Structure 1
Amino acid sequence: MFDHFVVSVVICPVLVALAVRWLADRLRPEAAVTVLVMSIVTAAAACLISLTAFALKAVAEVHAVGRWLGYSDSMVRADTGHEPWVSWLSVALLVVAVAGMVRVWRQHRRELGIAREFSGLPVDADRVTMIDDSRAEAFAVPGPPGRVVVTTGMRSVLDDKQYRALLAHERAHLDSRHHALVLYARLAAAVHPVFRWLTRRIDFLVERAADERAAEKLGDRRVVARAIGAAALRASEARLGLSMAPGRRDLRGAGVVPRRVASLLAPRYAARLLMLVAVPVAVAAGSVVWTGECVADLGELLYAAGMLH
């Protein structure tokens, strides 16, 4: 079974991460973001199932458990006799992964709690809630019904065209369920450390997808670019705590705004590369197949150990 650990836990996640990172800046984000995130999530799920299988094997290797359930624990141990550490390492990795997922989920629940604070506020026909606040803020609040929250401080720094661009951007987050994609990516990052390397890239990709949809709706890329720049310049340091723009907290230091503006004004995407999204998809699908074989092998091993006993 050791080869299953190497493929599903080590090789496939790394290959998927490398492919996603290389493709993220080379494809139109609105065309690729969902496929790339789902590739990450699929590889992470396969990794988690493999770790669970090896953790069960670790328990099955305990002599007392073998005596209690009536099977040959020595036969189970012999399956990875040359790598005796792999089963118990999987236990440790599984505990870390589950703890990380719980932490991400609790953070998500806190954000939903903040969102509920806006559910009682009035919303206009355009699904917009205007808040009297001097800070320049705007964010999408998912859930039925989804809405866009805008402060008077933000509205005051944008002209009418820029304001429409802002609303189009935030509605794109709602309509495309970007909040779910971000959550899935963060859960995947909790499962495998290599995916943490991609979290900012995914955040940026989600923002770019919303930028492109806003530009398509308005038919004016420059208006969207100016709206992004104006909002970033006037955005206050104190945040409201909930935003459907996950990378927004990185804008001041990571150069995200200039990159978004540059991508809008001079997009550099190669349509012929779109077919390459099949690479992370194929690797992720392969990891699922390999993980299925891992689970089947574990079942056969335990059955044979029981028959031998």
Structure 2
Amino acid sequence: MFDHFVWSVLVAPALVAVAVRVLADRLAPGRAARVVAWSAAATAVGSMINLLVFTLVAVAETPAAAEAFGWSARTVHDDTAQVAWVPWLSVALLAGAAGAVAVRARRHRRTLAEARRYSDGTATVLVLPDARPQAFAVPGRPGRVVVTTGMREQLSEPQFDAVIAHERAHLEAGHHRLVAVADVAAASHPALWWVARHVGYLVERAADEQAARAVGSRRTVAHAIGTASLAGAPAAGLGLHAAARPGVVPRRVASLLRPPRQAGWPWYVLPAALAASSLVWTVEAVVDFFELLASASLPG
């Protein structure tokens, strides 16, 4: 069973992160965001189930559990005797991961609830009288784009149209869900932290490309992003989606000022295949655990 732990908890998450970093700007951003986010989620699930299996091993090898359920604690212990620290380390890791996931999920729900207060009940584009330069998308039915007067005053008419198109692209594609999925996955495993950050970048790039198609000019969108950034809006003003960090805006602008890249399907398969392999090994770990209990329950 230890080999399943090594692959699903230690190796696969790190390889997914490396694969995403290597493929950073090789993939069409919209499709890549979906593949990367759900690959991170699958990898996180595989890791946590493996931790759960070894946590159950730790419980099963205690005399109290063995007596209650009628199996041999010695048989269970002997199965992992060479790595006796793994089951008990898994108890601590699982508790930490579960707690972090719960906190992160609750934070996303709270952020979304707070954002939805920006609504007048009818308008799909809401302009707020606020000097702070901000623009962001608020998911819902219907979704809304919120722009402050401080942001509106910084933009020319074509740039304003580009910002609105960008935010609408977030709403139409449900990017907030992908960001939440990746962020919660990252809470479960530190190796997935980079993956979650890259999903945030990819949804911004996807919205940039959609906005460029909507307004008919990649250069206009690039100028709008640069103007919004200089005005002080967080990563071009995307309150629910952006992770404002140095270097993101220049990369987005540079991408818009060159022809879009299209990658072949094998590049998309790589992170998905790594995530799938983690799930396969996880299923094997579960099967091995029940076989171990069955063996420990045999007489003699």
TM-score category (smaller protein): over 0.9
User: Hey, what does 1:108 align to over in structure 2?
Assistant: 108
Which of 247, 254, 261 lines up with 1:262 in the alignment? 254
Structure 1 segments of 4+ aligned residues over 6 angstroms from their partners: none
Provide the secondary structure at the position in 1 that maps to 2:53.
Answer: helix
Counterpart in the other structure of 2:195: 198
**AA matched with 2:101:** M
State the Cα distance separating 1:199 from its structure 2 match: 2.9
- Counterpart position of 1:93: 93
Aligned-residue sequence identity (percent) comes to 49
Aligned pair count reads 299
Counterpart residue number, 2:281: 290
Q: Could you tell me how far 1:161 is from its partner in structure 2?
A: 1.1
CA displacement 1:74-103 (0-9 Å, x = unmatched): 101111111001101111110111111011
Q: Distance in 2 between matches of 1:84 and 1:137?
A: 54
* Displacement after TM superposition at 1:276 (Å): 1.5
Within 5 Å, which residues of 2 pair with 1:273-288? 274-288=265-279
Aligned to 1:185: 182
* Shift in Å, 1:195: 0.7
Secondary structure, counterpart of 2:57 in structure 1: helix
1:161 match? 158
Contact 2:49–2:282 at 8 Å: present in 1 too? Answer: yes
Contact 2:129 2:148 in 1 (8 A): yes
Gaps of 5+ in 2: none
> Would you say 1:139 and 2:133 are equivalent positions?
no
TM-score by length of 1: 0.92
Shift of 1:275: 2.1
In the TM superposition, what whole-angstrom CA distance separates every residue of 1:245-303 from its partner, at most 9, and x where no partner exists?
322x32xxx0221111111002463534x422111111111111110111011111112
CA contact (8 A) 1:26 1:268 kept: no
Structure 2 CA distance for aligned equivalents of residues 226 and 152 of structure 1: 19
Kept in 1, the 8 Å contact 2:27–2:268? The answer is: no
CA RMSD of aligned residues (A): 1.8
What is the deviation of 1:165? Answer: 0.6
Tell me, yes or no, if the aligned pair for 2:116 and 2:139 is still in contact at 8 Å: no
**Counterpart Cα distance in 2 of 1:37 and 1:165:** 26
Shifted more, 274-283 versus 51-60: the winner is 274-283
Match of 1:245 in 2: 241
The Cα shift of 1:73 comes to 0.9
Shift of 1:236: 5.5
Secondary structure, counterpart of 2:126 in structure 1: strand
SS at match of 1:308: coil
